[in-house]
A and B are shown apart, each in its own frame.
Chain A
Amino acid sequence: AQTVTQSQPEMSVQEAETVTLSCTYDTSESDYYLFWYKQPPSRQMILVIRQEAYKQQNATENRFSVNFQKAAKSFSLKISDSQLGDAAMYFCAYDLGTYKYIFGTGTRLKVLA
Chain B
Amino acid sequence: DTGVSQDPRHKITKRGQNVTFRCDPISEHNRLYWYRQTLGQGPEFLTYFQNEAQLEKSRLLSDRFSAERPKGSFSTLEIQRTEQGDSAMYLCASSQGTSYEQYFGPGTRLTVT
Complex contact B48–A91 (CB within 8 A): no
21 A–B pairs (Cβ distance < 8 Å), ordered by A:
A44-B3, A44-B4, A45-B43, A45-B91, A45-B104, A46-B104, A47-B103, A50-B100, A91-B42, A91-B43, A93-B42, A95-B100, A99-B100, A100-B45, A101-B35, A101-B43, A101-B102, A103-B44, A105-B40, A105-B42, A106-B40
Whole-angstrom distance from the CB of A32 to the nearest CB of chain B? 9
Bin the interface of chain A by size: 20 to 34
Number of interface residues of B (CB under 8 A): 25
Residues of A within 8 A of B35 (CB): 101
B residues apposed to A, CB below 8 Å = 3-4, 31, 33, 35, 40-45, 48, 50, 55-56, 91, 95, 100-107
Q: How far is A100 from B33 in the complex, measured between Cα atoms in Å?
A: 8
Residues of A within 8 A of B33 (CB): 99-101
Q: How far is A110 from B18 in the complex, measured between Cα atoms in Å?
A: 38
A residues apposed to B, CB below 8 Å = 4, 33, 35, 37, 43-47, 50, 91, 93, 95, 97-106
In the complex, residue of chain B having the shortest beta-carbon distance to the beta carbon of A106: B42
Residues of B within 8 A of A37 (CB): 104
Whole-angstrom distance from the CB of B50 to the nearest CB of chain A? 8
The 10 closest A-B pairs by CB, nearest first: A103-B42, A45-B104, A44-B106, A33-B100, A100-B45, A95-B100, A44-B104, A103-B43, A91-B42, A105-B42
Residues of B within 8 A of A102 (CB): 45
Residues of A within 8 A of B42 (CB): 4, 91, 93, 103-106
Complex contact A97–B100 (CB within 8 A): yes
Whole-angstrom distance from the CB of A98 to the nearest CB of chain B? 7
Partner of A43, one of B4, B31, B45, B106: B106
